[in-house]
């Protein structure tokens, strides 16, 4: 299929017809260029194995102007033993991005998950600050001046735990106390003053009561950090969307993003995908619903000038974490991403293209 023909396809046409598997990445529009024309970055998470697949990297390079390491920079990957760091997967990711002149996001420096077993076995209130700051200092220094932005703290809020700040009861909270968050940002800033330091969290998008409460707790956290002059410059909204509570609405999100703008923080949509577990088995119907959710969400967030980047959590359905973590009850593969398992664009791709196209470049500055 020729590029012009693809451009003429509407999302509905794409949904109704199987997209020819002969369509190659070079023949479809490039979201990276479209995003650039609107002062936006478009990108995705990539794993080590995806970066080694010659059938995949041309698509990645055509479509993306920013990349993030899916797992390669997490504690378990970079710090497998207490006295040993392993930077080979992270180096491979950073070198790939640099060799193609693509900005790279670091993910992440502090999380309650994907930590090495030795950490749980070793950490105490006495050694926690030193383990924590040594890790952050070592990892951030290694990539000094080469990282676009770091997810410094990931998923620290969980209002369900009902402590007074809505902080998740993580190993960091238990062993360092609530100041671990600002300690992480200050340590990272000292190691690399150029990287945009980001707080990243999920389930802060919809109007559901639980997401509304979490969004409030995140806003409170960001306000506290800024009041204390903590060097944070961006919010990452993961945006793992789903329809478990019906079709989401975004009224609270609009108000929230106005508050974030007052704090002068940039916003990155860091892990966008759509869990289709609660959608019909029929593929055209399912793809349509997934695409509609992409469109309504992106139409909402891209109106806000603070939103500077949109990254999906992988590009192709074959690589999505949802296949293993949220399998459909009917056993069918999930279809959460803009490209299908054979790397053909889906209606979700058209939604992203159209949502970016619809943004007014003058408004976005």
Closest distance to ligand G3I from the beta carbon of 154 (Å)? 6
Identify which of residues 256 and 321 has a Cβ nearer to ligand G3I in the complex. Answer: 321
Q: Does 323 bind ligand G3I (CB under 6 A)?
A: no
Q: Does 268 bind ligand G3I (CB under 6 A)?
A: no
Token readout for 358 is 């619809």
Q: Which of residues 149-178 bind ligand G3I (CB under 6 A)?
A: 154
Closest distance to ligand G3I from the beta carbon of 267 (Å)? 16
| Segment contacting ligand G3I by CB under 6 A, of 69-77, 137-145, 279-287, 293-301 | 69-77
* Element at 154 (helix H, strand E): strand 149-154
* Identified binder of ligand G3I from the candidate list 27, 61, 71, 119, rule CB under 6 A: 71
Binding residues for ligand G3I, rule CB under 6 A, total 11
Residue 104, C-beta contacts closer than 8 angstroms, at least 6 positions apart: 66, 67, 68, 69, 93, 94, 97, 98, 146, 147, 148
* Identified binder of ligand G3I from the candidate list 19, 256, 294, 321, rule CB under 6 A: 321
* Identified binder of ligand G3I from the candidate list 271, 276, 317, 340, rule CB under 6 A: 271
**Which of 155, 178, 259, 342 does the annotation list as catalytic?**
155
CB environment 195-220: b (16+ within 10 A), e (fewer): bbbbbbbbbbbbebeebbbbbbbbbe
Interatomic CA distance for residues 197 and 174, integer angstroms: 23
Backbone angles phi, psi at 110, to 5 degrees: -160, 115
Backbone angles phi, psi at 81, to 5 degrees: -130, 155
Q: In the annotation, is 155 catalytic?
A: yes
Identify which of residues 71 and 208 has a Cβ nearer to ligand G3I in the complex. Answer: 71
* Element at 95 (helix H, strand E): helix 88-99
| Segment contacting ligand G3I by CB under 6 A, of 68-76, 188-196, 224-232, 282-290 | 68-76
Identify which of residues 71 and 212 has a Cβ nearer to ligand G3I in the complex. Answer: 71
* Element at 151 (helix H, strand E): strand 149-154
**SS3 label, residue 272:** strand
**Could you tell me the sign of the dihedral formed by the alpha carbons of 291, 297, 301, 303, in that order?**
positive
Identify which of residues 271 and 292 has a Cβ nearer to ligand G3I in the complex. Answer: 271
**SS3 label, residue 13:** helix
Interatomic CA distance for residues 337 and 361, integer angstroms: 26
Closest distance to ligand G3I from the beta carbon of 155 (Å)? 7
42, 285 in Cβ contact below 8 A? no
* Element at 196 (helix H, strand E): strand 196-201
Identify which of residues 325 and 363 has a Cβ nearer to ligand G3I in the complex. Answer: 325
Q: Does 238 bind ligand G3I (CB under 6 A)?
A: yes
Q: In 9-88, where do the E strands start and end?
A: 41-46, 66-69
Identify which of residues 9 and 181 has a Cβ nearer to ligand G3I in the complex. Answer: 181
| Segment contacting ligand G3I by CB under 6 A, of 66-74, 123-131, 228-236, 327-335 | 66-74
20, 26 in Cβ contact below 8 A? no
Identify which of residues 114 and 161 has a Cβ nearer to ligand G3I in the complex. Answer: 114
Q: Which of residues 82-141 bind ligand G3I (CB under 6 A)?
A: 113-114
**Which of 70, 158, 205, 271 does the annotation list as catalytic?**
271
Task: Give the per-residue SS3 of 288-356.
Answer: HHHHHHHHHHHHHHCCCCCEEEEEECCCEHHHCCHHHHCCCCCCCCCCCCCECCCCCECHHHHHHHHHH
Residue ranges that bind ligand G3I, judged by CB under 6 A: 70-71, 74, 113-114, 154, 202, 238, 271, 321, 325
Catalytically active residues are: 155, 271
């Amino acid at each position: 299929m020729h590029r012009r023909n693809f451009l003429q396809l509407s999302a509905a046409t794409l949904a109704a017809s199987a997209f020819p598997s002969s369509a190659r990445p070079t023949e479809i529009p490039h979201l990276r260029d479209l995003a650039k024309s609107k002062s936006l970055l478009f990108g995705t998470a990539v794993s080590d194995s995806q970066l080694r697949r010659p059938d995949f990297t041309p698509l990645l390079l055509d479509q993306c102007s920013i990349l993030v390491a899916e797992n390669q920079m997490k504690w378990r990957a970079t710090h497998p033993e207490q006295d040993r760091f392993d930077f080979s997967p992270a180096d491979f990711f950073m070198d790939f991005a640099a060799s193609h002149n693509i900005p790279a996001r670091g993910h992440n420096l502090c999380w309650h998950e994907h930590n090495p077993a030795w950490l749980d076995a070793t950490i105490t209130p006495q050694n926690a600050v030193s383990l924590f700051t040594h890790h952050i200092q070592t990892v951030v220094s290694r990539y000094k001046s080469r990282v676009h932005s770091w997810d410094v703290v990931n998923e620290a809020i969980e209002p369900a735990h009902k402590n007074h700040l809505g902080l998740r009861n993580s190993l960091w909270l238990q062993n360092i106390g609530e100041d671990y968050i600002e300690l992480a940002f200050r340590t990272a800033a000292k190691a690399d003053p150029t990287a945009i330091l980001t707080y990243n969290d999920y389930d802060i998008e919809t109007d559901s009561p639980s997401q509304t409460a979490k969004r409030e707790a995140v806003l409170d956290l960001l306000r506290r950090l800024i009041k204390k002059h903590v060097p944070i410059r961006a919010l990452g909204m993961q945006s793992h969307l789903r329809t478990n509570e019906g079709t989401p609405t975004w009224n609270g999100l609009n108000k929230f993003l106005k508050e974030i703008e007052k704090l002068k923080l940039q916003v990155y949509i860091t892990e966008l995908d759509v869990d289709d577990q609660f959608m019909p088995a029929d593929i055209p119907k399912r793809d349509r619903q997934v695409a509609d959710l992409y469109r309504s969400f992106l139409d909402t967030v891209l109106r806000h000038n603070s939103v500077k980047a949109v990254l999906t959590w992988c590009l192709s359905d074959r690589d999505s974490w949802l296949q293993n973590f949220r399998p459909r009850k009917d056993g069918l593969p999930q279809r959460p991403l803009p490209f299908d398992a054979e790397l053909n664009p889906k209606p979700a791709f058209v939604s992203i293209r159209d949502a970016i196209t619809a943004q007014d470049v003058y408004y976005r500055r």
